[in-house]
Amino acid sequence: MSKIEILLIDDEPNVRETIKELLVFKNYNVRTAADGQEALDLLEHAVPDLILCDMVMPVMNGSELFDIVKSSTSYKHIPFIFLSAKNEIDLIKKCLTDGADGFLVKPFKINELTLVLTARLEELEKNKSQESRSLSVKKKRPSTLSNYSSEILPGRIKDCNWFDRSSK
């Protein structure tokens, strides 16, 4: 199994490097960006499994990046977790209501971060496996009764005129 890819966006170099080191130690592959625009440039080259993004940054802030990511068919499936030094309940509530997959208030403990990451990544994996099972069931299931072979349908149903579309 390949390592989980995380895109970490934070304008503070010390914070960004510290979080990156902790995540690498926890066996994640981490790419970093200093702002939302730089993150979009990285997204063009490789799609991560999860995005960790600071709220307040120059050039493009976290909310603007979030809106772009969630409106893109290529990126909207990526779990998006906000990081912020702002511990304001209204901001946290708005982010989560708007569809963010998590919100961590800085400073946070590494265990809090890994717990949120693990939960989101497990949820993503569960959704992927449900999707693939759903697709395989759809491929196996005929779309109409007329697709069933004559061995499956009893003779009296197969011979009914209301079922035979060719007689109309």
**Residues 106-126: tens digit of each pLDDT:** 999 989 998 999 898 888 788
What confidence tier does 156 reach under pLDDT thresholds 50, 70, 90? very low
The C-alpha atoms of residue 41 and residue 52 are separated, in whole angstroms, by 16
Alpha-carbon dihedral sign for residues 135, 141, 144, 146: positive
Nearby residues of 57 by Cβ (< 8 Å), 6 or more positions away: 9, 10, 11, 34, 35, 36
What confidence tier does 154 reach under pLDDT thresholds 50, 70, 90? very low
Give me the pLDDT at residue 129, please.
73
Q: Which of 23-32, 58-67, 111-120, 125-134 has the lowest mean pLDDT?
A: 125-134
Say what the pTM is.
Answer: 0.75
